[in-house]
A and B are shown apart, each in its own frame.
Chain A
Amino acid sequence: MLHECSLELEPGEVVALLGPSGGGKSTLLRALAGLVPHFHGGRFSGRVDVAGHDTRRVRPAELAGTVATLFQDPEDQVVFTRVAAEVAFGLENVGTPPAQISPRAAEALAAVGAGHLAERLVAELSGGELQRVCLASVLALEPRLLLLDEPTSQLDPEGAAAAIELARSSGAAVVVSEQRPDRILDACDRVVFVENGRLRDGELPPAWIPRDAELRDEQPAGAPACVLDGVSFAYGAVPVVADASLTLGRGEIVALVGPNGSGKTTLAKLAAGLLEPAAGGVEREGRACYLSQDPGRYLVRERADEEVALAVGGDLSRARRALAELDLAGFETRHPRDLSSGERERLALAAVLVAEPDLLVLDEPTRGVDPERKAELAALLRAQAPSRATLVVTNDLVFAGDVADRCVSTAAERERALV
């Protein structure tokens, strides 16, 4: 995964790790944390020295506190059921004096804007809220080396900028792996490009050079394929969507953007028919398909082509065509769990695109996807757009600009109808 990599980090320095999916960014972060080779095994040569500790001689648990790692998937790193206990866990393990644990945990939560979540159950949090809590857990340790693996994948742009700034101001040497260069390049001191397991200097490939989002605002077009009329929805007593209206026309792509927790996913599920509104009505023409933001939910069958064929009554030839469109030709017989995270994302996309639905709803389809793949996805969706109405829920404004005919925001959604 990594070949002859050399990297030196100064205290307080922020280094951005960029590079395509599967290129070795996460492996490099794990090597810096000592998890490679201790936890993952493999062949290891060379030396990683962190604050005077040789990572081959010191267990990762012994490095905790000096090093803190935020992993890619916030859902898979939570130990406790309540937020406050979760943040305190690392502090307790590294032997923080008891009287300091709760105040430091509360301080870290407040710093990431999650102070109000302290007594909440982790299972009740949105993806963005959970990512903030996990960030608080590592910042609370006040490490000398902070390793962040795609820390903003589920955050809105403002939340992402705040998180990166917070990491920067911690005073630690920070290494951030990112798939969205626009979120990190302004805040970092140095960029390291990781490709095929090697660190590369020099200019970034064109797709990785940040550019401003160019959001289009075309008029709604085409015969309506889906109409949400004054819909409301609440989880228990908590209202999430209130009196929202949105029309999706055949042939158009609409991007749904907005801050974390503003009801984007709920609105998308209402459009796709996965949730029934408490008030208002939803009308749909033809078949609707919904792509969840968690690609782990598309791992039901034991072969990739069978997984994709589920939506088309087991038609393997259609499934294989869909896989090829997503650049997964040759992966047909692979077990979905053997795929990398980027490949799983594309498999999930193939699993919904194969059905050629009249209404396609995609929830965060670019999470963990590198810019080159994102450009390919935007081109594919644009090419298929005339045959359907497409709703894309995303925090990635550049992608929204590339793919969508118009952009709808949930920011002021609570007060007024959307469209």
Chain B
Amino acid sequence: MSPAPAAALLAGAVAAALLADRLVSVTAIALVLLVVCLRAPAGRRRLYLIGVIGSGIAVFVVTPFVATVGSHVLWSGPTLPVLGELDVTREELYNGLFQGVRLAAVGLAFAAYALLLDHDRLVQSARFARRSVLTVALATRLVPTLERDAAGLVEALRGRGVEVTGTRGRARLLTPLLAGSLERALNLAEAMEARGYGRAGATRALRPPWSALDRCALAGAAGLVALGVLWL
């Protein structure tokens, strides 16, 4: 499948997850996207899945304490300044679960986009907003690039006999990683300018025409949005 219809299909899944108002519908979308993500190599998908599942669980845990919904109280706690009386209702738990799964579905769609799509072909097939598509593609590469940089820093430290252990040890790498990213961004911007990026009259290499599968994917994306609005 060409990357543009695949991206449209993922966008359709995200729209359906945001429009749907039933837990079972959102869960089904999240599960399908999880299966899609599992096609990526284990080493690459691990970080994305940890992030997505962690965020979903965080939303599920926090929502009952910050929302005030429902009358079926399951637990009553103390009264705290600012937050008021802490309690957990059945409706809040359901709402937390729903929002958590919804966030996971959106995150999994992004993970599938980052892990499985050929961003080069996506940029090259963009018929409009090419700059924006290129920006998104470069931003998507940030995570794997940071992973690679972090691995390089850790290796160089090991090469000096310094082991990086624990959360504190890893946290110390954040500043050099950020500074390295900024430096690279500047170098890349210069290289892009020198290669003519942004000048008028740019062309695109010829691409093969869309297949029947690509057209079906595009129709499927539109169908998902309609489904989200009408039935899910």
Chain A interface (Cβ < 8 Å from any Cβ of B): 33, 35, 38-39, 59-62, 64-65, 67-69, 71, 73, 76-82, 84-86, 88-99, 101-102, 105, 123, 137, 141, 272, 274, 287, 289-292, 294, 296-300, 310-311, 337, 351-352, 355, 357, 361
- The reply to whether B187 and A92 form a contact with Cβ atoms under 8 Å apart is no
Q: Which residue of A lies closest to B179 (CB)?
A: A337
**Partner-contacting stretch, out of B54-62, B64-72, B92-100, B154-162:** B154-162
What interface size band does chain B fall in?
A: 35 or more
B201 at interface, CB cutoff 8 A:
yes
Contact of B153 among A92, A105, A297, A361 (CB under 8 A): A297
Give B217 Cβ to nearest chain A Cβ, in Å: 21
Contact of A92 among B148, B162, B184, B202 (CB under 8 A): B202
Task: Enumerate B53-91 residues with CB–CB distance to A below 8 Å.
Answer: none
In the complex the two chains form, what is the Cα distance from A133 to B198 in whole Å?
22
Give B198 Cβ to nearest chain A Cβ, in Å: 5
Known contacts being A71-B187, A102-B206, A300-B173, is A80 close to B123, with CB within 8 Å?
yes
Q: Which residue of B lies closest to A72 (CB)?
A: B187
Q: A300, A310, A355 — which one has the most chain B CB atoms within 10 A of its CB?
A: A300
Task: Enumerate B178-230 residues with CB–CB distance to A below 8 Å.
Answer: 179-180, 183-184, 187-199, 201-206
Chain B interface (Cβ < 8 Å from any Cβ of A): 118-121, 123-124, 134, 138, 141, 144, 148, 152-153, 155-162, 172-173, 176, 179-180, 183-184, 187-199, 201-206
Q: Which residue of B lies closest to A301 (CB)?
A: B176
A39 cross-chain contacts in B, Cβ below 8 A = 189-190, 193
- The reply to whether A101 and B155 form a contact with Cβ atoms under 8 Å apart is no
Give B153 Cβ to nearest chain A Cβ, in Å: 6
- The reply to whether A94 and B158 form a contact with Cβ atoms under 8 Å apart is no
Known contacts being A81-B119, A82-B120, A351-B160, is A299 close to B176, with CB within 8 Å?
yes
Give A347 Cβ to nearest chain B Cβ, in Å: 12
Q: Which residue of B lies closest to A335 (CB)?
A: B179
In the complex the two chains form, what is the Cα distance from A22 to B223 in whole Å?
60
A–B Cβ pairs within 8 angstroms, 25 of them: A60-B193, A64-B199, A68-B194, A71-B190, A71-B194, A79-B188, A79-B195, A80-B119, A80-B123, A81-B120, A81-B141, A85-B124, A86-B120, A93-B196, A95-B203, A98-B203, A98-B206, A101-B206, A272-B159, A274-B158, A296-B183, A311-B160, A311-B162, A355-B161, A361-B159
In the complex the two chains form, what is the Cα distance from A351 to B158 in whole Å?
12
Give A104 Cβ to nearest chain B Cβ, in Å: 10
In the complex the two chains form, what is the Cα distance from A292 to B159 in whole Å?
8
- The reply to whether B191 and A71 form a contact with Cβ atoms under 8 Å apart is yes
In the complex the two chains form, what is the Cα distance from A292 to B156 in whole Å?
6
Contact of B157 among A38, A77, A78, A300 (CB under 8 A): A300
Beyond the given A67-B194, A311-B160, please list 13 additional residue pairs across the A-B interface where CB-CB is below 8 A.
A59-B193, A61-B194, A68-B194, A76-B188, A76-B191, A84-B120, A90-B196, A95-B203, A98-B205, A287-B161, A297-B155, A337-B183, A352-B159
- In the A-B complex, the 7 residue pairs with the smallest Cβ-Cβ separation, listed nearest first, are A64-B196, A290-B159, A93-B196, A77-B191, A297-B156, A85-B120, A76-B187
B180 cross-chain contacts in A, Cβ below 8 A = 296, 299
Give B190 Cβ to nearest chain A Cβ, in Å: 5
- The reply to whether A94 and B156 form a contact with Cβ atoms under 8 Å apart is no
In the complex the two chains form, what is the Cα distance from A82 to B144 in whole Å?
14
- The reply to whether B206 and A62 form a contact with Cβ atoms under 8 Å apart is no
Known contacts being A60-B194, A311-B161, is A102 close to B184, with CB within 8 Å?
no
- The reply to whether B118 and A59 form a contact with Cβ atoms under 8 Å apart is no
Q: B148, B159, B172, B205 — which one has the most chain A CB atoms within 10 A of its CB?
A: B159
B196 cross-chain contacts in A, Cβ below 8 A = 61-62, 64-65, 90, 93-94
In the complex the two chains form, what is the Cα distance from A232 to B69 in whole Å?
62
A272 cross-chain contacts in B, Cβ below 8 A = 159
Contact of B152 among A59, A291, A294, A357 (CB under 8 A): A294
A64 cross-chain contacts in B, Cβ below 8 A = 194-196, 199
B202 cross-chain contacts in A, Cβ below 8 A = 92-95
Give B231 Cβ to nearest chain A Cβ, in Å: 38
Give B47 Cβ to nearest chain A Cβ, in Å: 15
In the complex the two chains form, what is the Cα distance from A406 to B183 in whole Å?
39
A60 cross-chain contacts in B, Cβ below 8 A = 193-194
B119 cross-chain contacts in A, Cβ below 8 A = 80-81
Known contacts being A92-B202, A98-B204, is A61 close to B197, with CB within 8 Å?
yes
Q: Which residue of A lies closest to B141 (CB)?
A: A81
Contact of B193 among A61, A73, A81, A105 (CB under 8 A): A61
Give B180 Cβ to nearest chain A Cβ, in Å: 6
Known contacts being A94-B199, A95-B202, A98-B204, is A299 close to B179, with CB within 8 Å?
yes
Q: B160, B161, B199, B205 — which one has the most chain A CB atoms within 10 A of its CB?
A: B160
Give B43 Cβ to nearest chain A Cβ, in Å: 10
Give B157 Cβ to nearest chain A Cβ, in Å: 7
Contact of A300 among B153, B158, B192, B201 (CB under 8 A): B153
Q: Which residue of B lies closest to A296 (CB)?
A: B180
- The reply to whether B157 and A292 form a contact with Cβ atoms under 8 Å apart is no
- The reply to whether A274 and B187 form a contact with Cβ atoms under 8 Å apart is no
- The reply to whether B204 and A79 form a contact with Cβ atoms under 8 Å apart is no
Q: Which residue of A lies closest to B155 (CB)?
A: A274
A357 cross-chain contacts in B, Cβ below 8 A = 161
Give A19 Cβ to nearest chain B Cβ, in Å: 21
Contact of B203 among A71, A79, A81, A97 (CB under 8 A): A97
In the complex the two chains form, what is the Cα distance from A311 to B203 in whole Å?
51
- The reply to whether B195 and A93 form a contact with Cβ atoms under 8 Å apart is yes
Give B170 Cβ to nearest chain A Cβ, in Å: 12
- The reply to whether A85 and B121 form a contact with Cβ atoms under 8 Å apart is yes
Known contacts being A89-B195, A287-B161, A297-B153, is A82 close to B206, with CB within 8 Å?
no
In the complex the two chains form, what is the Cα distance from A89 to B141 in whole Å?
17
B152 cross-chain contacts in A, Cβ below 8 A = 292, 294, 296-297
Contact of A289 among B120, B124, B161, B194 (CB under 8 A): B161
